[in-house]
Structure 1
Amino acid sequence: MSDDNFYVIGDEKDLYEKRKKIFPKKVSGTFNTLRVLSVWLLLGLYYVLPWVTWNDQQAVLFDLPARKFQIFGLTYWPQDFIYLAMLLIIAALALFFFTAVAGRLWCGYACPQTVWTEAFIWMERLVEGDRNKQVKLEKEPWSFRKVRLRATKHLLWIVFALFTGFTFVGYFTPIKELTDSLQTLSFSGWEWFWILFYSFATWGNAGMLREQVCIYMCPYARFQSAMFDKDTLIIAYDEKRGEQRGGRKKDMSKEEYQAEGLGDCIDCMQCVHVCPTGIDIRDGLQYECIACAACIDACDDVMEKMGYEKNLIRYTSENHDAGGKLRLLRPKTIGYGIALLAITTLFILSIWFRTPLELDIIKDRNRLYVTNSEGFIVNIYKLRILNKDQVGHTYTINVSGNENLIYQGPKQVSLPSEGIREVPVRVALDPYYLKDSSFEVNFTLQAVDSESIKVVQDAKFIGPVQRKRRR
Structure 2
Amino acid sequence: MRAVTGIFANWRWALVWFTQILFYGLPWLMWNDRQAVLLHLTERKFYIFGWVFWPQDVFFLAILLIISAYGLFFFTAIAGRLWCGYACPQTVYTEIFMWIEQKIEGDRNKRIKLDKAPLSAKKVGIKLAKYGAWAAVSIWTGFTFVAYFSPLSELLQSATTLSFGPWELFWILFYGGFTYLFAGVMREQVCKYMCPYARFQSVMFDPDTLVITYDDARGEPRGPRKKGADPKTLDKGDCVDCGICVQVCPTGIDIRQGMQYECIGCAACIDACDQVMDKMEYPRGLIRYSTENAIKKGWGNKEIIAHVFRPRTLIYGSVLILISLAFVWALATRDPLRVDVIRDRASLAREIEGGMIENVYQLQVMNMTEKARTFVFSAAGLEGIAIGGEHRMEVGSAGTQAVTLQVHVPYDSGKPGANEVFFEVYPEDEPSLKLREKTTFLFPR
Offset at 1:372? 3.5
CA–CA distance in 2 between the matches of 1:98 and 1:440? 51
CA–CA distance in 2 between the matches of 1:192 and 1:164? 13
CA–CA distance in 2 between the matches of 1:371 and 1:335? 63
Offset at 1:185? 1.3
Question: Which deviates further from its counterpart, 278-287 or 455-464?
Answer: 455-464
Offset at 1:30? 1.2
Q: How many residues align?
A: 439
Match of 2:238 in 1: 264
CA–CA distance in 1 between the matches of 2:192 and 2:427? 56
1:242 aligned onto 2:219: yes
Query: 8 Å contact 1:355–1:454 — kept in the other structure?
Result: no
Match of 1:298 in 2: 272
| Structure 1 residues 138-187: Cα deviation after superposition (integer angstroms, max 9, x where no partner) | 23333333222211110110111111111112112221221122222122
User: Which ranges of 4 or more aligned residues in structure 1 deviate by more than 4 Å?
Assistant: none
1:390 aligned onto 2:367: no
Offset at 1:137? 2.1
Give the 3-state SS of the residue equivalent to 2:362 in structure 1.
strand
Give the 3-state SS of the residue equivalent to 1:361 in structure 2.
strand
- Describe how 1:224-235 pairs up with structure 2 within 5 A: 224-235=201-212
CA–CA distance in 1 between the matches of 2:413 and 2:425? 25
Q: 1:229 to 1:367 in 2, by over 3 A?
A: farther
State, as a whole percentage, how many aligned pairs show the same letter.
49
Residue of structure 2 aligned with 1:131, choices 70, 83, 108: 108
Match of 2:323 in 1: 343
Offset at 1:431? 4.6
CA–CA distance in 1 between the matches of 2:416 and 2:87? 61
Question: Which deviates further from its counterpart, 332-341 or 29-38?
Answer: 332-341
RMSD (Å), alpha carbons: 1.9
Query: 8 Å contact 1:409–1:424 — kept in the other structure?
Result: no
Residue of structure 2 aligned with 1:430, choices 410, 434, 439: 410
Q: TM-score, normalised by structure 2?
A: 0.94
- Describe how 1:248-397 pairs up with structure 2 within 5 A: 248-253=225-230, 257-323=231-297, 325-326=303-304, 327-366=307-346, 368-397=348-377
Residue of structure 1 aligned with 2:35, choices 58, 80, 87: 58
CA–CA distance in 2 between the matches of 1:452 and 1:361? 21
Q: TM-score, normalised by structure 1?
A: 0.89
1:457 aligned onto 2:437: yes
Q: 1:377 to 1:331 in 2, by over 3 A?
A: farther
| Structure 1 residues 10-30: Cα deviation after superposition (integer angstroms, max 9, x where no partner) | xxxxxxxxxxxxx2x111111
Give the 3-state SS of the residue equivalent to 1:95 in structure 2.
helix
| Structure 1 residues 340-386: Cα deviation after superposition (integer angstroms, max 9, x where no partner) | 11221122222222223220011233454334444444332211112
Give the 3-state SS of the residue equivalent to 2:232 in structure 1.
helix
Match of 1:11 in 2: none
CA–CA distance in 2 between the matches of 1:300 and 1:371? 89
Query: 8 Å contact 2:387–2:407 — kept in the other structure?
Result: yes
Query: 8 Å contact 2:383–2:409 — kept in the other structure?
Result: no
Offset at 1:439? 4.1
Offset at 1:274? 1.0
1:414 aligned onto 2:394: yes
| Structure 1 residues 89-137: Cα deviation after superposition (integer angstroms, max 9, x where no partner) | 1111111111111111010111111111110000000011111222222
Give the 3-state SS of the residue equivalent to 1:390 in structure 2.
coil
Offset at 1:228? 1.2
- Describe how 1:68-217 pairs up with structure 2 within 5 A: 68-217=45-194
CA–CA distance in 1 between the matches of 2:398 and 2:228? 75
CA–CA distance in 1 between the matches of 2:386 and 2:164? 55
Q: Structure 1 unaligned segments of length 5 or more: list them.
A: 1-22, 466-471
- Describe how 1:440-455 pairs up with structure 2 within 5 A: 440-451=420-431, 453-455=433-435
Give the 3-state SS of the residue equivalent to 1:285 in structure 2.
coil
CA–CA distance in 2 between the matches of 1:440 and 1:130? 77
Question: Which deviates further from its counterpart, 113-122 or 427-436?
Answer: 427-436
Offset at 1:69? 1.4
Match of 1:13 in 2: none
| Structure 1 residues 185-244: Cα deviation after superposition (integer angstroms, max 9, x where no partner) | 122222221211111111111100111111111111111111112211111101111100
